[in-house]
């Protein structure tokens, strides 16, 4: 269970990094659903990338980890309910 949560957190962090990477056109909202589209003129593109990724990456990683936890726990509950008869 812990491995799934860590994998989901890392996937969420990578999603934020891909969303804000300045030298690619991966501007898909499903990569980072909590990341706003920010356009600013302060700093170089790499500095903006680092700032937005370091601040919004953990937020998106936490969101994806919570969703992954709910899905894994829900699937385990359904699997257990289907395998075990209800009245034993």
What tokens does 81 get?
């309910």
Rounded average pLDDT over 67-75: 92
Q: Is residue 13 part of a domain?
A: yes
Q: Is residue 66 part of a domain?
A: yes
Domain that holds residue 59: 2-83
Task: Give the pLDDT confidence of 45-57 residue by residue, as tens digits.
Answer: 888 888 888 888 9
Number of structural domains (the chain) is 1
Rounded average pLDDT over 52-78: 91
The pTM of the full predicted model, rounded to 2 decimals, is: 0.76
Within 10 angstroms of residue 17's Cβ, the number of other Cβ atoms is 20
Q: Is residue 88 part of a domain?
A: no
Task: Give the pLDDT confidence of 8-43 residue by residue, as tens digits.
Answer: 899 989 888 888 888 877 667 777 887 777 777 777
């Amino acid at each position: 269970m812990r491995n799934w949560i860590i994998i989901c957190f890392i996937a969420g962090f990578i999603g934020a990094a891909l969303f804000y990477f300045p030298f690619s056109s991966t501007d898909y909202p499903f990569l980072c659903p909590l990341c706003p589209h920010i356009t600013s003129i302060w700093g170089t593109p790499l500095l903006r990338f680092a700032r937005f990724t370091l601040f919004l990456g953990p937020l998106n990683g936490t969101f994806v980890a919570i969703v992954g936890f709910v899905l894994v726990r829900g699937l385990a509950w359904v699997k257990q309910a289907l395998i075990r008869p209800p009245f034993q």
